[in-house]
Each structure stands twice: as C-alpha cells, then as structure tokens.
Chains A and B, each alone.
Chain A
Amino acid sequence: MRKASILILFLVIAGNLPAQTEESQERDAIFLKLELLKQAYAIQRGYVLEPELAWQHDRVNFNFTYGHSQYKRSSLYKELDYINKGNYYQFGLLYQIVASKQYFAQGLFIGMQVSYADFTETGSIIFDGPYFGDYTSNLEQSNKLYSLAYLLSYKKMVSEHFILDLTGKISTVLDDYNQPHFPVYIVPGSGVTNIFERPEENSFMTGGLSVKIGYKF
C-alpha cells in the first residue's frame, strides 16, 4: 500500500503540466480519489480503504465515500487488546467559495458531510484467578452511528488529470454511543472519540485532516 501511494505521487509529479493561461470552460467533472493520510497512519495498525467518487458541477461538489477499515491497538484503556473493524458510508456536499479561473474544480470549498458507520469493537482482558485459574474476558460491542461533519477543503489540480485534495473536518457523532463494556474509541470515518482514554471524557466531537489524491475523468 505504501508503494502504491509513492507510485501515485510519482505519477502526479511526473504528469504535472506547465501553468495554463486561458480560462477554463469546463462545467462538469467526475473524480475518483484515494485517501493517503489514513493509509500512512494505518501502517502496522491495520488498514483503511476509502475510495471517493465525486462529481463537480460548476461550484457545487457532490461526493460519496465508501470506507472499510480495521484498526488494532494493544493496552487500550490500560488493559484491552483492541480491534475495531467496520464499514462506513459518507455523502458530502461542498460549495466552492474561491475558484481558480484557469483550473476547473481548483480552489477553496466549504460543506457538510453525513456519515454512517457500522462497526464492531472487540477486545480481551485477562483477570487473575488465584484459586480457580485465570479468566479471559472477550468483549464485543456493535455500533451503528450517524455523524455530521463540517468541512473546509482546498483542492488543487496538480496536472491535467490529477487533483490533490486537502480537507479538514470537525465531526459530531449524532447518536448516543454509550456501550456496556467500554467507551467507543474510534468511529470509523469520523475519528477518535476518546482521545484521553477516560470514560468520563467521551467526546461527541472529533477533528481530522484528510489528504487525498484523485483522478479526473
């Protein structure tokens, strides 16, 4: 996956064209994008597949993202060997507030995104049993959560067909996500909801940054 990311970056740099001078007449474009930052973060912790299909019409950008991720961590909440696995679906709507005259779809965007995550968190803990023997408690909790995200995005055409997409987002989990065994740690597609690993500090708000590379058809 890391090699693939490097190859994509190489293609972007190699395919970079000289600056275009005339104004763009385009009104529609379709993009297929791949997330790079989460991939890098997921190395040795799991994997993230997050393709995005986007359609830009004038200054409006509609996008759909399907995500599948698995994240592993040891000693979460001090003792838990934790695995988070699931799917998420995101629908986004962006408006281009600053547009480039030369390059269609390049500029600054603001927007919102609705996300639905269906994921399972599992973990195991060992308790001492001095008389009858140790006990391994295997915990599993399933979650189906909606989130709403506010987006600020900068998109830059780095060549005729490749686009670089930097997006910052603040996300709010809309559902009550209290669980009987342990606090939800990550909502896939939205972020870490318990960054301090204390149940008293569960947060419905998460923040994040995504770096995507896309191809314009």
Chain B
Amino acid sequence: MLSFKHIKFTVIAMICIVSMQIMGCINDDSACDPYFNEEPQVTVQFRNSLSFTEVYGIKPGFRQYIELKDSTYRLPINLNTEATTYVFRSKTAQDTLELLYTIDTKYLSEDCGFVLELKDLQNGNLTTFDSVYVSSYEYHVEIE
C-alpha cells in the first residue's frame, strides 16, 4: 500500500520534472548569439565621461533620439546600407561617429531561424571622436 508520504513525494517529483521540461522548452535567446533576429545594436563607450544632450542616427525623414541605457548608448545599425552615421550633441560641441560594416543572412537553426550576422565592423571617415570604443560580440572598433 502507498502511504500519503509516498504519494506526496511522487506528486512533487512529477511537478518538478514537468517544470524542468517546460523550462527546457523555453527559447534561450543567447543560443542565437552572436547573431541578430532584427536590426542589430552595437554598444558605444567613451573613455572620458561625456554628457550628450542629443544622440541620433542620421536617416531621411525625422530625427529619433537614442536614449542612454545602463550608462551606455546602444546604437542601431541600418540594415539597408553598409554605413551608419550617428550624431552626438552636447551643450558645447557636436561629434559624429560613422560605422562601416557588412550584413550576412543565414539560416542558423530550427530555434533561431534566419539570422543576421554583423561583420567587418570598422570606423568610417566621418568620425570626429578622438576616443571611442564600439563593440558587437567579437567585433569592436577602438579609436584612440
């Protein structure tokens, strides 16, 4: 005969097993790194602490500001061109950052589907910063 304790233990064990299986089925986005499922973002860091009043990427139409998040700016990459220029405005000055890159599309896996690979990230001629560090997974641009 099964005691109440045995039944209780079995039920708890089953709940644990089912929970673990459900958690295992949840998509882990990091499994698709270093690839992107939408417009990629690169992280920009400055050696000197600069305070910008406006940061935006140059695009036709309207100006959309990029917000500071966790003390860093995450710059979106324009997929429709192979260069993106950003404007950083402070109260006293204005600087530009130009990034050059290539984009590849490929089918990665059943879970990740088609992904974008950001490659050959480089600094462009329009950049006016003296010191900046831009990174995206294994690619980074350092201007000193």
Contacts and interface: CB of A to CB of B under 8 A. Distances in A.
A binds B: yes
A18 interface: no
B105 A128 contact: no
A200 B109 CA distance: 8
A182 B39 contact: no
Nearest to B113: A78
Contact of A200 (B66, B103, B106, B110): B110
Nearest to B109: A199
B107 interface: yes
B107 A199 contact: yes
Contacts of A197: 110
A131 B113 contact: no
B78 A80 contact: no
Nearest to A182: B107
A180 to B, nearest CB: 6
Contacts of A217: none
Contacts of B104: 180
A197 B78 CA distance: 30
B98 to A, nearest CB: 15
Size bracket, chain B contacts: 20 to 34
Nearest to B78: A132
Contacts of B79: 127, 129, 132, 135
A77 B57 CA distance: 33
Interface majority SS (helix, strand, loop, mixed), chain B: strand
B59 interface: yes
A139 interface: yes
Contacts of A80: 107, 114
Interface footprint category on A: 20 to 34
Contact of B114 (A125, A131, A132, A180): A125
B57 A180 contact: no
Interface string B63-74: 010100000000
Interface in A44-86: 77-80
B105 A181 contact: yes
Interface in B22-58: 37-39, 57
Contacts of A181: 105-107
A101 interface: no
Nearest to A135: B79
A77 B107 CA distance: 8
B30 to A, nearest CB: 19
B116 interface: yes
B106 to A, nearest CB: 5
Nearest to A181: B106
B84 A132 contact: yes
Contacts of A198: 109-110
A141 to B, nearest CB: 11
B114 A135 contact: no
13 contacts: A125-B105, A129-B38, A131-B57, A132-B57, A132-B77, A132-B79, A135-B103, A181-B105, A182-B106, A183-B107, A198-B109, A200-B109, A200-B110
Interface of A: 77-80, 125, 127-133, 135, 137, 139, 180-183, 197-200
Interface of B: 37-39, 57, 59, 64, 66, 76-80, 84, 103-110, 113-114, 116
